[in-house]
Structure 1
Amino acid sequence: MIKDHFETRKKDEADLASLQDRIEKRQVYREEQNKIRSEREKARQEAAIEAKKKQEELEERRKKEEEEAKKNALAAMSMNFSGGAAKRERKAGAGNKGKELKKKVLAERRKALNVDHLTGEKLQEKAVELHKWLVSLEESRYDLNISFSSLKDDLKQMRTRVNDLMGKKKTTKVNVRK
């Protein structure tokens, strides 16, 4: 019985030694796996940080571009005194000489109003001068509207004459064929 006990004990010790070896190997393997996993996690975190930085840079660049576009649009609007004129100008293209001529004429007519340094009397004189100028512009506008309406009426009369004459010729041609 003692012999059996010692033999089982030797077997148990051998099994225990092999088990301890397996446990140590498994611990070494797990440590290696944890190292590899931690290295991968660090690399993933670094990549995520870099991607986030790139995204932030792109976002900042996009915001700057939007701000520049807004500034340019506001500048264009202030130059034209309306956004609609800028849109129409973009749609029409650069080949519109009539609009360019109109802009040039309006720019020549537009006077800079610098009244910061003027005194009370000078301001009154400036106001009178601007009023006279406004009255002259209104008079010229009224005259142009009157001439425009008369020309419009003349054009209507001439169109009706042309249409009447064209209609008579068509009827004569139709009669000849019959």
Structure 2
Amino acid sequence: MRKADIETFFSRLEAGNPAPRTELHYRDPFTLLAAVMLSAQATDVGVNKATARLYAEAATPAAILALGEERVRELIKTIGLYRNKAKNLVALSRMLIERHGGEVPRDRAALEALPGVGRKTANVVLNEAFGEPTIAVDTHIFRLGNRTGLAPGKTPREVEDGLLAVVPKAYLKGAHHWLI
């Protein structure tokens, strides 16, 4: 796509959805981080049902830690990979308390150092919770970047770097949401 076409493309996406948001339900950076981490290989609808149960009992790192892995497992068992996700959520909560005062860090490296958090999850949190102009590359965006030629690449990171290079700065905050 030519630069002018890319500008027009994103302008039209913005006109149709000027304030795009994630479909995951969350209250704050921690509940967003937990929801995104739980969303791997699960639908947003399924994650929202599981997090509604979970957050009714525990919606902070300290409360998750107090709940314990077994209870977290029970509350999220309707989503795939729930055993490992429960283990990671408890470990993530412990690490947030021990290393970050119970707060979600605004730093990519610190986010990616948390159990169960990879680059895509870190990008979603940085973008959605903190307004950072990042693009989380999931399977949909990876496919779209390659099929359209907008940002071809062999890896999600290559597609992410390509998108960051071609998406006009004014549209970076919403680009991830518009493309999925």
Q: TM-score, normalised by structure 2?
A: 0.20
Higher relative contact order (CA 8 A, sep 6+): 2
* TM-score, structure 1 as length reference: 0.20
Greater gyration radius: 1
